[in-house]
Amino acid sequence: MQQYNELINLAFENLEEKTSQISDLLSDVNSLHSAQIDVLMHLYDDRKESLDQISNWYNSDNKALTPEMKKSIRNRMDKLLKNDADNLLVIKNKLDELGDKLRNLNKNKSLLIYIK
């Protein structure tokens, strides 16, 4: 049971580390570029593996997970969900900014074509 608990903690530590890296990346950049988007995609892919592991353990019929451990997992997941919601809001805002910039570029391009 101790080894099982350690595996869950390792998966959560990896998940929390990747979430922190995503937050740091999003806070360091003014807008998203191709390279940053690739890094974000890689971090989210890594997170998915840990999430799948935790989900499998949580939903298994294995008696190694006591009700207290399941409650602890739920609490940790709630914290991660809040951080993810914040990260997704930052990503949405950055994409909205990029969309505005693209619309302005297209408008300026149309004006330049019209002027010629």
Domain count, the chain: 1
pLDDT digits (tens, 9 = 90+) for 34-89: 888 899 999 999 999 999 988 888 887 667 677 888 888 889 999 999 999 999 99
Q: Which domain holds residue 10?
A: 2-115
The total number of residues written for the chain in this structure: 116
Judged on CB neighbours under 10 Å (0-12, 13-18, 19+), 19 is buried
pLDDT digits (tens, 9 = 90+) for 84-116: 999 999 999 988 988 898 899 888 887 677 676
57: closest CA among 108, 2, 5?
Answer: 5
